Amino acid sequence: MEIKELCHLVLYVRSLDKSVEFYRDVLGWRQVYPAGEANLRFPAAAFSAPSGRTHHELLLIEVGSDAAAIPRGRRVGLYHFGLKVGDSDDELRAAAARLKEAGVPILGASDHTVTHSLYLADPDGNEIELYIDVPGVDWKKDPALIAAPIKPLRL
């Protein structure tokens, strides 16, 4: 077997309305399901990147307000997922400005040599990395760059 690519992510969420507002209205994902006032078979929403690379990259399934929270501290499971927002620090600055405008706190900012990254959390506490690939850094020629020491990011 050969994995060709990572295609989609599915998250359980407490409130579909809150999460749709966050992923669609704050992060700018294109909602592909439900379209308009669809009659839902189950409470879910699907999103695709503007490129339309695949039918959906993100699926949210509502599990209700009484669902257990993500445990704090060291645990097994998802740490964060990354979303590329462009190819320049200007695009990352624009993302930071959009987050500030929407009242979404930035939890961290890192220079990973190969990427410049901002970290935030969705309404349920799932951590998200918004990043750009640093122009001119060729990690394919020097894969050791991926493990370079992390530095604070100054935008």
Spell out the domains of the chain, with CATH numbers in brackets: 9-62 (3.10.180.10), 80-152 (3.30.720.110)
Q: What is the mean pLDDT of residues 1-11?
A: 90
8-34: average pLDDT: 95
- Distance (Å, whole) CA 134 – CA 112: 9
Local confidence band at 96 (pLDDT 50, 70, 90 cut-offs): very high
Residue 39 phi/psi, 5-degree rounding, is -85, 110
105-128 confidence digits (pLDDT tens): 999 999 999 999 999 999 999 999
- pTM surpassing 0.85? yes
Q: Is the pLDDT of residue 16 over 60?
A: yes
Long-range residue pairs from 30-36, CB within 8 A, at least 24 positions apart, any chain: 32/56
Q: What local confidence, expressed as pLDDT, does residue 37 receive? A: 56
**Average pLDDT of 80-85?**
96
SS3 48: strand
Q: Are 146 and 131 contacting, i.e. CB atoms less than 8 angstroms apart?
A: no
Q: What is the mean pLDDT of the chain?
A: 92
What gap in Å lies between CA 76 and CA 69, rounded to an integer? Answer: 14
| Contact call for residues 127 and 77 (beta carbons, < 8 A) | no
Residue range 33-61, pLDDT digits in tens: 886 555 567 789 999 987 778 888 999 99
Amino acid at 55: H
